């Protein structure tokens, strides 16, 4: 099932932290991709369906520069096959000693209309990627070519990325905190709940800034807090 436009819009307005809480309430504890960071502090929010690439440890006789002459090479093919609006998610086994990709391939993803790219390894040309204004996440910069240590082996299969399970079609949300993976079958309800949670948290933040204590407010165990929230929503059009 394709990601609904209204779900995409709601996700762009909420945080990975709020989504993590909504997932935790449903028993999901391992959906946040560990140790990946945005390349730019001002890059857009990342939302899209996962399209995956899996790397395995390179075997030297099968991973020479000449492999890139093959139009079917999994890394190059994944770059050209990742659908517009999707997120390329790369399983690099949390190994940033060699790059998962560089600025040319990431630029190609951007020009093709892909929503963003995530690796639990590293990117080369990281400063150039950061300047693209394109949502990109990695562990750290890495200059060596991927062929040094990574052999691209599978496209659009279930992977692990930063210890999180990622299935093709899962919904990816990335912000300044990092990247979280939402199972595709609950993406709509998670987006709706988190969108509502965001309204309440904005109300709470305003109240705390006004000097209120959190007791009875967060969580809203006082009936007056709920009444005040309802009045606030009406006033703010939320």
pLDDT tens readout for residues 129-162 = 999 999 999 999 999 999 999 999 999 999 999 9
pLDDT above 80: residue 1: no
91 alpha carbon, distance to own chain's centre: 13
Model pTM?
0.94
**Nearest alpha carbon to residue 88 among 76, 97, 96, 98:** 76
pLDDT above 80: residue 197: yes
* Residue showing tokens 């990325």: 161
The token pair that represents 20 in the structure block:
């993590």
- Strand ranges (DSSP E) for 58-192? 86-91, 99-101, 116-119, 122-123, 136-138, 150-155, 159-161, 164-166, 171-175, 178-182
Q: In this structure, what are the phi and psi dihedrals at residue 149, rounded to the nearest 5 degrees?
A: -135, -20
Give the CA distances from residue 170 to residues 53, 165, 238, in Å, rounded to whole numbers and listed in that order: 14, 10, 28
């Amino acid at each position: 099932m394709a990601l609904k436009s209204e779900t995409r819009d709601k996700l762009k307005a909420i945080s990975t932290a709020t989504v993590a809480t909504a997932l935790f309430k449903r028993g999901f504890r391992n959906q946040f991709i560990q140790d990946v960071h945005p390349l730019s502090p001002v890059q857009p929010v990342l939302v899209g369906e996962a399209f995956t690439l899996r790397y395995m440890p390179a075997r030297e006789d099968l991973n020479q520069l000449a492999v890139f002459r093959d139009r079917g090479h999994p890394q190059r093919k994944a770059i050209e096959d990742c659908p517009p609006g999707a997120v390329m998610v790369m399983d690099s086994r949390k190994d940033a000693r060699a790059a998962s990709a560089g600025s040319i391939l990431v630029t190609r993803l951007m020009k093709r209309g892909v929503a963003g790219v995530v690796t639990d390894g590293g990117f080369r040309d990281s400063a150039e990627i950061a300047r693209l204004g394109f949502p990109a996440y990695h562990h750290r910069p890495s200059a060596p070519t991927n062929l040094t240590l990574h052999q691209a082996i599978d496209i659009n299969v279930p992977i692990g990325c930063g210890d999180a399970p990622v299935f093709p079609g899962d919904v990816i949300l990335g912000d300044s905190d990092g990247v979280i993976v939402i199972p595709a079958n609950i993406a709509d309800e998670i987006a709706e709940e988190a969108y509502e949670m965001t309204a309440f948290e904005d109300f709470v933040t305003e109240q705390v800034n006004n000097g209120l204590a959190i007791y009875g407010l967060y969580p809203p165990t006082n009936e007056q807090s709920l009444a005040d929230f309802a009045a606030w929503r009406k006033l703010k059009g939320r």
